[in-house]
Amino acid sequence: MCSSDIQVDVIIPTQTKYLDLIGSIGERIGKDLETFEGDREALAYHLNLVLTEATINAIKHANYKNTEDTVRITIQIQEDAVIIKVYDHGQGFDLENVPVPDFENPKEGGMGIFFIKTLMDSVTYTRQDDCNVLEIVKYLK
C-alpha cells in the first residue's frame, strides 16, 4: 500500500440503525475524492447507496440467532479506485444468479444488488475462511 492510500475499517452489530453511519462515511469520502473527474455529488450518493445496500444485504444474510454477530466493512481509497469490502458470517448467496429486476412489472424487492452492479465497476462475492466477502470496486479514472 503506498503512503497516499487511506483505509477505513468499521465493525457494526447486525442492526439497521447503523446503515446511516456507514452510508454517510461513503458519501463523505465521495465528496472529497478530488482525483475523480466525473460528477462528485453523484459519486457521493452512489457510494452512500452502495454501502447501504451492501450492508443491509450482509445484515439480512447474517445469523439472526447470534445477537453478537457483526458486519465488517472496509473502504480503501486508492489514487485510481475505491475498494469496498463487506464481510458477513451468513450462508452466502450466488451473486451471479441474482435476477435483474423486471422493469415492466416492478417488484418491491431485489433492487439492491442491481444498484451495486449498475453503479460500480466490479463486484465479486467469495468465501474466505469463516466469512463471505462482497468486494466492490469503483474506478476513479
Specify whether the CB–CB gap between 82 and 138 falls below 8 A: yes
Question: Counting every residue, how long is the chain?
Answer: 141
The span of 6-14, 30-38, 104-112, 120-128 binding other proteins (CB under 8 A) equals: 104-112
The Cα 43–Cα 115 span in angstroms is 13
On whether the CB atoms of residues 47 and 38 are closer than 8 A, the answer is no
Asked if residue 109 binds other proteins (CB under 8 A), the reply is yes
Site pattern 50..89 for other proteins (x: CB under 8 A)? --xx--x---------------------------------
Q: For cell 486508492, what's the residue? A: 78
Q: In the bound complex, what is the minimum distance in angstroms from residue 128's beta carbon to other proteins?
A: 25
Cell of 22: 456507514
Nearer to other proteins, 94 or 104 (CB): 104
Cα of 56 vs its chain's centroid, Å = 9
Per CB under 8 A, residues contacting other proteins are 16-17, 19-20, 23, 41-42, 45, 48-49, 52-53, 56, 101, 103, 106-112, 114-115, 118-119
